[in-house]
Structure 1
Amino acid sequence: MHIIVIAWLYVTVLMALAESSVVAGILTLLFYGLVPTALLLWLFGGPVRRRAARLSQDASRTPSGGGDDKPAQ
C-alpha cells in the first residue's frame, strides 16, 4: 500500500508544480494529495491499530513469570 501512496503523492506534487500560481499549487497539493492520503492511511490503518491494541492488552493480562504456570517458592 505504501507504493501506492508514494506514487499518488508524486503525481500530486507534479500537478502542484504545473499550477499557474503558488496558492493554487499549495491548495492542489493539500486537497488532492495530503488530505486524501491521510484519510486513506487512517482508514486502512484501523485494523492494524486494533490488532496492536489487542496484542498489548493480551500481553498485559498474561503473567510475566517466564512462561511456566507454577508459582515461585
Structure 2
Amino acid sequence: MYLVVIAWMYVVLMMSVAEATNTTGSVLGAIVTFFLYGVLPLVVVVYLLRTPQRRRAIKAREAAEDAAHAAGRAAPSAQPDAGGEAAGAAEAGGVAPVRKEP
C-alpha cells in the first residue's frame, strides 16, 4: 500500500514541477495541483484502506480490557479517581468547600 502512495506522490510532484516551470504555468497552480491531485485524494484513500486495521486494533484492545476485567484486575482507565490528585487538593489551595447547614 505504501509503495502505491509513494509512487503517486512522485507522479504528483512531477506534475507540480512541470506546471511551475512551464511558461504558462504558475507556482500557485503547482501548489493547487499538488494538494488537489496528491495530498487530498491520498488522505482519503489511506484512511479508507486503514479502516480494517483500525477495527482490528479496537477489537484487540477491547478483548484485552475484557480479559483483564475477567481476571479480576481492572484496567487502569477503569479505576476510580485515577487522576492522581489528592482528595483535599482544592482545600490546600485556599478554596474552602461550600456545604449546606442541616
Is this a same-fold pair by TM over 0.5?
A: yes
> Runs of 5+ in structure 2 lacking a partner?
20-24, 72-102
Q: Find the counterpart in structure 1 of residue 68 from structure 2.
A: 63
Deviation sequence 1:9-48 (CA, Å, 0-9, x none): 0000000011111100000000000001000000111111
Letter in 1 for 2:9: L
**Which ranges in structure 1 are unaligned for 5 or more consecutive residues?**
66-73
- Give the structure with the larger helix fraction: 1
Q: 1:50 aligns with which of 29, 36, 55?
A: 55
2:2 corresponds in structure 1 to 2
Runs of 4+ in 1 over 6 A off after TM superposition: none
Question: Which letter maps to 1:12?
Answer: V
- 2:88 is aligned to none
Between structure 1 and structure 2, the one with the greater Rg is 2
Secondary structure class of the residue paired with 1:35: helix
Counterparts of 1:17 and 1:47, CA distance in 2: 35
Equivalenced residue count is 65
Q: CA RMSD in A?
A: 1.2
Q: CA deviation at 1:63?
A: 2.7
TM-score computed with the length of structure 1 as normaliser = 0.84
2: CA distance, partners of 1:38 / 1:63: 35
